[in-house]
């Protein structure tokens, strides 16, 4: 594998790993809120709601915004990737709108908004992992490693140096 392709493969693995962790965390937070609402436990509901809103504001929305420039920019500038990127940007707007709705909602309305965030985010990640990132990796002149270099919002906290001196996220080793 050429060095650039190897860098892209490492970047892809890091982003996929980060996405999986985000989705696992979001699913757990949504489940906690939904369970509290179903149990009519107002204290647990309040706590679960606050934790979920905070996670959305400090993790989910910053992740989406970080993608919009470097990850989406190159692909969005190509005729083949333009519509995919436009659709993904629209999904970001929907997610941000749902976070706003969640912030103001209580009870069943909060659980519904939380569930919608979880489902849209899962679909969005499928598109990024299965369509956008492979498109970037297969496109001459585009580099996934360059697009995510140094962006912990996209690759998580673990970083390695690529053969080109960039900082790129790396998937964890077999030990964790």
Residue 52 · residue 102 · CB < 8 Å: yes
Lowest mean pLDDT among 10-19, 40-49, 85-94, 110-119: 10-19
Q: Is the pLDDT of residue 62 over 60?
A: yes
- Of the segments 130-134, 152-156, 166-170, which one has the largest average pLDDT value? 130-134
More confident residue, 150 or 105: 105
Whole-number pLDDT of residue 2: 56
Cα 88 to chain centroid distance, Å, stands at 11
Angle at 140 between CA 171 and CA 169, to 5 degrees: 15
Q: Which residues contact 78 (CB under 8 A, 6 or more apart)?
A: 139, 142
What are the residues facing 169 on neighbouring strands? 159
Q: Is the pLDDT of residue 151 over 80?
A: no
pLDDT tens-place string over residues 89-108: 999 999 999 999 999 999 99
Q: Which residues contact 39 (CB under 8 A, 6 or more apart)?
A: none
Whole-number pLDDT of residue 147: 87
Lowest mean pLDDT among 39-43, 99-103, 161-165: 161-165
Residue 144 · residue 133 · CB < 8 Å: yes
Q: Tell me if the pTM is above 0.85.
A: no
- How many CB atoms neighbour CB 27 within 10 A? 13
Distance in angstroms (rounded) separating the CA atoms of residues 91 and 121: 8
Whole-number pLDDT of residue 152: 56
End-to-end CA distance of the chain: 25
Q: Report, as an integer, the average pLDDT of 7-14.
A: 91
Let me know if 160 is exposed, middle or buried by CB neighbors in 10 A (0-12, 13-18, 19+). Answer: middle
């Amino acid at each position: 594998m050429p060095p650039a392709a190897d860098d892209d493969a490492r970047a892809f693995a890091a982003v996929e790993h980060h996405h999986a962790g985000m989705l696992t965390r979001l699913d757990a937070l949504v489940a906690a809120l939904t369970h509290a609402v179903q149990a009519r436990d107002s204290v647990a509901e309040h706590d679960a709601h606050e934790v979920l809103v905070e996670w959305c504001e400090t993790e989910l929305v910053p992740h989406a915004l970080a993608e919009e420039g470097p990850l989406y920019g190159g692909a969005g500038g190509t005729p083949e990737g333009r519509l995919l990127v436009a659709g993904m940007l629209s999904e970001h707007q929907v997610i941000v709108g749902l976070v706003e709705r969640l912030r103001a909602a209580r009870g069943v309305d909060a659980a519904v908004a939380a569930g919608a965030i979880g489902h849209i985010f899962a679909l969005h990640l499928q598109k990024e992992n299965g369509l956008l990132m492979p498109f970037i990796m297969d496109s001459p002149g585009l580099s996934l490693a360059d697009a995510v270099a140094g962006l912990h919002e996209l690759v998580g906290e673990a970083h390695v140096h690529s053969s080109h001196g960039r900082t790129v996220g790396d998937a964890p080793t077999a030990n964790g």
